[in-house]
Chains A and B, each alone.
Chain A
């Protein structure tokens, strides 16, 4: 292993540790976090994600304007997004954790999350093996790295503001429909 990458690994380890700590503190390391969200019984996961997105969208725009960061926009590969998203959603429902919360659940001691992690590794191996033949399917309908403001020709600030507004207003609506576990 090269020396320069050790610093990066440690930086990642530190960031991951904070992320894992907060996932556990927010009870996202529990099976009912994802399974409850998918059964529309508990909207904690959407609230955590929405809050992070709202704060992060403003932060990203400010940092980008100041030249302190660059966006790493993911490519809009229609085939990969639609097929991958469908497989992902189905797998997540069966597993009951998403990739991040599965790792947090492992840390807490959930044994089914260890099985989930082994399955994830097998899934990754299968992907590596099949990638060359899957590539055309994934890149079908590719539109490159596009952002919502680019597609709609609107200001990114408008989007950041709208997401923040939605996150202030929406939780009350979600709360109204909450049935409990």
Chain B
């Protein structure tokens, strides 16, 4: 039960890597000193290993089962929004940015809150998880299904 000993999450690694990169490249502009005063000095450890591992594990499984070369624009998106690659990539980047910003405000994601947090009966996780699925379902209704 490694999972029970250390929280299994994805987004803390992104926050700390971003803080490290900002500290190296543009510490003044990014106000990194003040960030570190509040959040402590970020470091590369277990978390970053997990994120790299997820990419690697999925790649392994996909190669082993010959499930590679997926279409550039996912089927649902192509049918409901359109076939443009540029639109899909732009939307994916914007959605990813929004999602990450929200995850860091709440200190967790679908893994950290949705799985690790709920199993520890964290009250915060049991509030966060219904909120993400409810707002996600609402946003999906606005985004998809307009063509019908």
Which residues of A are at the interface with B, using a C-beta cutoff of 8 A? 1, 5, 8-25, 29-32, 34-40, 46, 49, 52-53, 55-57, 59-60, 63, 68-77, 79-96, 98-113, 115-129, 131-132, 134-135, 138, 143, 145-151, 156, 159-160, 163, 181
Contact = CB atoms under 8 A, between A and B. Distances in A.
Nearest to B118: A53
A38 B136 contact: yes
Given A39-B141, A87-B99, A120-B97, 7 more contacts: A16-B52, A30-B74, A74-B124, A77-B107, A93-B139, A94-B94, A120-B100
B125 A74 contact: yes
B3 A49 contact: no
A119 B76 contact: no
Contact of A74 (B68, B97, B113, B143): B113
Contacts of A52: 115, 119
Given A73-B120, A104-B55, A132 B38 contact: yes
A59 B60 CA distance: 28
B104 A84 contact: yes
Contact of A9 (B49, B56, B69, B70): B49
B50 A19 contact: yes
A20 to B, nearest CB: 3
A38 B140 contact: yes
B43 to A, nearest CB: 7
A138 B61 contact: no
A94 B35 contact: no
Contacts, number: 449
Interface size class of B (residues with CB under 8 A): 35 or more
Contact of A107 (B17, B21, B54): B54
B113 to A, nearest CB: 7
Interface string B17-57: 11101100000001110110111000111111111111111
Contacts of B3: 15, 56
A118 B96 contact: yes
A160 B127 CA distance: 17
Given A86-B135, A108-B70, A131-B39, A16 B53 contact: yes
A91 B104 CA distance: 13
A99 B109 contact: yes
B17 A39 contact: no
A24 B139 contact: no
A95 B115 contact: no
B76 A36 contact: yes
A16 B124 CA distance: 24
Contacts of B124: 73-77, 81, 146
Given A100-B111, A112-B72, A91 B46 contact: no
Given A31-B77, A87-B99, A104 B58 contact: yes
